[in-house]
Amino acid sequence: MAKNLIIYYSRTGENYVRRKVTVLSKGNTEIVAEYIQKAVGGDLFRVETVKTYPADYYECIKVAKAELRAKARPELKNYLTDISDYDNIIVAGPCWWGTYPMGILTQLEKLDFTGKKVFPVMTHEGSGLAGSKSALKKYCKGAKLGKGLAVRGADAEKSEDKVVKWAEKELRI
């Protein structure tokens, strides 16, 4: 059976949910990442930046935009260094200005993806998979790109059936 690694970033605090700013005690992507693990097994690795992002939604989007423009690579609390044990690498994150939060890229750039299969997973409020596929093509050199999964953040909790269907089809080899 294929060995799965789920690399994810998720933020708690204020977020934009169905056109309203709402406080999330658990991030949407974390919920989806755990559903994937529950469905097909695998290890979870949470990307955590040393610098925390503002809990305030409007402050956070300003910081995120500046980081995207600057092509920032924020420092992480822990780094994965070796993914040689895994077949499938699922990269899950919220859509931030059309792509992954920059901390995910900090991590991806440190790994050797030769011979791996990578799968974009994105939670969003309308943008779908957005730039996640092109990001994985660019930052996971040597990997084959699998079919991705987009989940509306507001529907994260009730997305388990959709996640299971996708995971069983794409990740169970």
One symbol per residue from 57 to 86: x for binding ligand FMN (CB under 6 A), - otherwise; what is it? x--xx--x----------------------
User: For 131-158, b where at least 16 C-beta lie within 10 A, e where not — what string?
Assistant: bbbebbeebbeebeebebbbbbbbebee
Minimum distance from residue 98 beta carbon to ligand FMN (Å): 5
The binder of ligand FMN chosen from 124, 135, 136, 171 (CB under 6 A): 124
> What is the pattern of x (binds ligand FMN, CB under 6 A) and - over residues 82-111?
------------xxxxx-------------
Q: Which of 5, 6, 7, 28 lies at the binding interface for ligand FMN (CB under 6 A)? A: 28
> Which sign does the torsion angle of CA 77, 27, 64, 109 carry?
positive
End-to-end CA distance of the chain: 6
**What are the CA-CA distances from residue 75 to residues 4, 15, 47, 55 (Å)?**
25, 23, 10, 19
126 forms part of the interface with ligand FMN (CB under 6 A):
yes
CA distance 12 to 6: 19
Count residues binding ligand FMN (CB under 6 A).
Answer: 24
Instruction: Please select the residue that binds ligand FMN; options are 24, 39, 83, 89, rule is CB under 6 A.
Output: 24
Q: Which residue in the set 5, 6, 7, 15 belongs to the binding site for ligand FMN (CB under 6 A)?
A: 15
Q: Report the relative pairing of strands 20-24 and 13-17 from DSSP bridges.
A: antiparallel
Binding site for ligand FMN (CB under 6 A): 10-11, 15-16, 24, 27-30, 57, 60-61, 64, 94-98, 123-127, 153
